[in-house]
Amino acid sequence: MTAAHDCIFCKIINGDIPSFKVFEDDKTIAFMDINPVNPGHILVVPKAHASNIFEIAPDDWAACMVNAQKVAKAVQQVLAPDGINIMQANGTGAGQSVFHVHVHVMPRQSGDDLKMNREYIPGDMEEIAQLAEKITTALLEQ
Ligand code: 5GP
Ligand code: ZN
C-alpha cells in the first residue's frame, strides 16, 4: 500500500489514529465520519493513498464503489433514512477537505437542507460508536 506521510486517512488505515471501522477488505476500509451530516454518515476509503479521482487506480475506485453500495444497504437497514447520497469531492472548490480520495455514504432526511460545502459539526461519539456496531453487524449479515 502507498501511504502519504501527513495524511489523516493513511493514519487511520494504519491504525495510528482511531476510527469507528465498519468494514474492511484488501483494497478498502469504511469508517464512521466523526462530523456526520446525519447519523450513520460513513466514508469508504481506498487503502492505497491517492489524492483524488484523477489519481486513484481504476480497480481501487471500483472497489470503493462496490463497497459504498454494501455500506449504503447496511445504513438503509439500520437507520431507514429518507434517502442516501453517494458523494465524492475533488478539489477545494468542490468542498474536498481531506486529500485522500473517499466516497461519502450520506444518509439524508427530507428537509435537512444539506449544503455541499458544509461546516464540520462534531457528532456525539457515543451515538457514532453505537451506530458503527449496528452497521458492522448488518454488513456481516449481507
Ligand atoms: P471532504 O470534505 O474531503 O469531502 O470529506 C472529508 C470528510 O472527512 C468530512 O466529512 C470530515 O468530517 C471527515 N473527517 C475529517 N477528519 C476526520 C477524522 O479524523 N476521522 C474521521 N472519521 N473523519 C474525518
Ligand atoms: Zn492517505
Q: What is the pLDDT of residues 77-128, one digit of tens each?
A: 999 999 999 999 999 999 999 999 999 999 999 999 999 889 999 999 999 9
How close is the Cα of 103 to the center of ligand 1, in Å?
11
Q: What is the pLDDT of residues 32-59, one digit of tens each?
A: 999 999 999 999 999 999 999 999 999 9
For the chain, list the domains and their CATH numbers: 8-141 (3.30.428.10)
Q: Residues of 56-75 as b/e, b for ≥16 C-beta within 10 angstroms? A: beeebbebbeebbebbbebb
Asked if 41 is an active-site residue, the reply is no
Residue closest to 33 by CA, chosen among 142, 114, 140: 114
Report residue 19 CA to chain centroid gap.
11
Whole-angstrom distance, CA of residue 83 vs CA of residue 140: 22
Q: Which of 97, 105, 114, 118 to mutate to test the pocket of ligand 1 (most atoms within 8 A of CB)?
A: 97
Residue 2 has pLDDT above 90, yes or no: no
Length of the chain: 142
* Sign of the torsion formed by the C-alpha atoms of 41, 45, 50 and 54: negative
Q: Residues of 113-137 as b/e, b for ≥16 C-beta within 10 angstroms? A: eeeeeeeeeebeeeebeebbebbbe
How close is the Cα of 139 to the center of ligand 2, in Å?
25
pLDDT computed for residue 5 by the predictor: 77
> Which ligand 1 atom is nearest residue 97's CA?
3
pTM of the predicted model as reported, rounded to 2 decimal places: 0.96
pLDDT computed for residue 1 by the predictor: 55
pLDDT computed for residue 3 by the predictor: 67
How close is the Cα of 103 to the center of ligand 2, in Å?
14
141: its cell numbers: 449479515
Annotated catalytic residue within 49, 100, 102, 104: 102
